[in-house]
Structure 1
């Protein structure tokens, strides 16, 4: 996603090593990294990139570190507006394995592209090249991602993949840091436990993302081709977006000019469904989850109004009316308080009244009918 000034991102890194940890879905025999400078306006040089099995506290497991090359070279330039793919890396990883990707530049890496709410610790070193080190000397940590945007696994056992695209609720905001407790994480675990071991899960949630307007990440209609249609081997798409389209207008996040009607959101979802079908994907759409009480401590904040609730209900009514070509995931019914349906169930509320906690995300994943993926 692009850097939005309100996120207060780091301006960049100079002569430092950054180590990012990520969990693989189904694993594979070889890996390909996708690094990115897609929102940058200048190229920058990487002098070293390494990958290893992740240890505790930002460490790399001994004897597992592999150098990453690009066209046979250990250094590479990431051009402005572009991703950078590595050569295949001979590092076999099992299902749900964690890997650590470390990269170093002796110059300056500007942060114009990042993933703000990763719910995963990234480690930033003191000056120096620690890419191949088992343990870095850490200057600071963040919970954002920077250059690493995807890890592709080469395997002969895959039967397909599930793309989960959405906003912060798919991104897992409110879940435990480093806990892999986002609902797509739990879905991947269920696949491993219940006969879908060769079906991958890809999380493409962006906190603050919307269907129809840009600000935090490109809007869903704009990023669909890059984030969904370009992925190889995918067979299913789960869409859970719309809450920010409803909540943001008339607040400090978005003005009244970005107000949308239920029909606007429905038209956007129709377009996503149509494009997914062209890409050969089976489609599921999740209902928009409750948000009453959001920012209630701020007088006249505008996040929740009776009119916004009516819009949510109208969108959900349309989603629930879909025929058999579109699978419905009624996350609203899973998370809402039966005694107060416009609110999250307190046991599932992270505390901000819009994002679930670990228990809520687990309830979402466990409500998904695995039979749909057969």
Structure 2
């Protein structure tokens, strides 16, 4: 259903629900403060004059004048959003009734950066989305990669969706179905880093996919080849990431069958193919980087967020540091 917008304002973010004084700007749509988001379609605002430094954090305040059910959102946003009563869009501090770490309504922010050399897009699942990273700390591995690329005038876009899969829809559509929207349609994209497939392997036999059988190696590699072909058809560099260790993942929960020796054997075959197939312009071996040398089917404890699946802050920083910038940038 359409969404009625009463007012939107943008500012540099301050601490918690505060904005930086003096940076508040009105966001308009065809010169008007009120607007309607069409059902199933985006709504793009007028340009906003708000100078920003690299890695700046923005606050987008949205007033909804009527009760508005949200049917789609980014549930694992890892950033606190503040929800209050009434129109507080021009307030320097939101009087908060509740918070959420999901992202709603705003899907992307376009920044006019004349001195830039394009963008790198990280597409994947919860490991890219930042599930194991600290809330509000910008410690996802794409965040840390963005820090490394500031001096190169290259931005990083995070297209990770927690629960995403290569071959099937789930928490978000399958990678092949969203590759056009999340990668090819993004302005200035030069390269893509692909890290996806662990949910295709691990979900079968769990409450997430109780009737699903393990995908074949051929089905997975065909999926990867399709994404590589799409990237190369648009003259993009595509880097493949090996799937990270997951023994012990989510044990003691209803997803206790997330890991099995059979699933591990398939992960090893997939990783061998990623390393040796030549399908990608380069490979970043996240598996080798993050695994425990003493127990290589497990994450190294210092990189583990604690659930034996998602890297923590230190693991995310190690992932970003392992990426060869020369493989992303051709100039």
TM-score between the two structures when normalised by the length of structure 2: 0.97
Helix, strand or coil for the counterpart of 1:151?
A: coil
> Closer, same or farther in 2 for the Cα pair 1:324/1:227, shift >3 Å?
closer
1:61 alignment counterpart = 20
CA distance in 2, matches of 1:238, 1:258: 27
Deviations 1:111-170 (A, max 9, x none): 111000111101001x21001111111001111000111111112111111010000000
2:125 is the alignment partner of 1:163: no
1:27 alignment counterpart = none
> Closer, same or farther in 2 for the Cα pair 1:135/1:222, shift >3 Å?
same
2:323 is the alignment partner of 1:371: no
- Counterparts of 1:90-105 in structure 2, within 5 Å, are 90-105=49-64
**Stretch of structure 1 that moved more, 222-231 or 94-103:** 222-231
CA distance in 2, matches of 1:181, 1:201: 13
CA distance in 2, matches of 1:83, 1:106: 19
Q: Tell me which of 9, 25, 49 is aligned to 1:50.
A: 9
How far the C-alpha of 1:301 sits from its partner, in A, is: 2.8
How far the C-alpha of 1:55 sits from its partner, in A, is: 0.6
CA distance in 2, matches of 1:90, 1:157: 17
How far the C-alpha of 1:300 sits from its partner, in A, is: 8.6
- Counterparts of 1:1-374 in structure 2, within 5 Å, are 42-125=1-84, 127-192=85-150, 195-196=151-152, 198-257=153-212, 259-298=214-253, 301-323=256-278, 326-374=281-329
Unaligned runs of 5+ in 1: 1-41
How far the C-alpha of 1:299 sits from its partner, in A, is: 8.3
Helix, strand or coil for the counterpart of 1:203?
A: strand
Helix, strand or coil for the counterpart of 1:49?
A: strand
Q: Is the 8 A contact 1:243 1:288 kept in 2?
A: yes
Unaligned runs of 5+ in 2: none
> Closer, same or farther in 2 for the Cα pair 1:187/1:84, shift >3 Å?
same
Deviations 1:222-277 (A, max 9, x none): 11111111111100000000000000010011123353122211110100000111
Q: Is the 8 A contact 1:44 1:108 kept in 2?
A: no
CA distance in 2, matches of 1:240, 1:254: 21
How far the C-alpha of 1:65 sits from its partner, in A, is: 0.5
Q: Is the 8 A contact 2:228 2:280 kept in 1?
A: no
CA distance in 2, matches of 1:270, 1:293: 30
Q: Is the 8 A contact 1:322 1:328 kept in 2?
A: no
CA RMSD of aligned residues (A): 1.3
CA distance in 1, matches of 2:223, 2:267: 14
Higher relative contact order (CA 8 A, sep 6+): 1
Q: Is the 8 A contact 1:162 1:237 kept in 2?
A: yes
TM-score between the two structures when normalised by the length of structure 1: 0.86
Q: Is the 8 A contact 2:76 2:102 kept in 1?
A: yes
CA distance in 1, matches of 2:18, 2:101: 16
Q: Is the 8 A contact 1:213 1:258 kept in 2?
A: no
How far the C-alpha of 1:296 sits from its partner, in A, is: 2.2
How far the C-alpha of 1:344 sits from its partner, in A, is: 0.4
CA distance in 2, matches of 1:299, 1:133: 43
> Closer, same or farther in 2 for the Cα pair 1:299/1:75, shift >3 Å?
closer
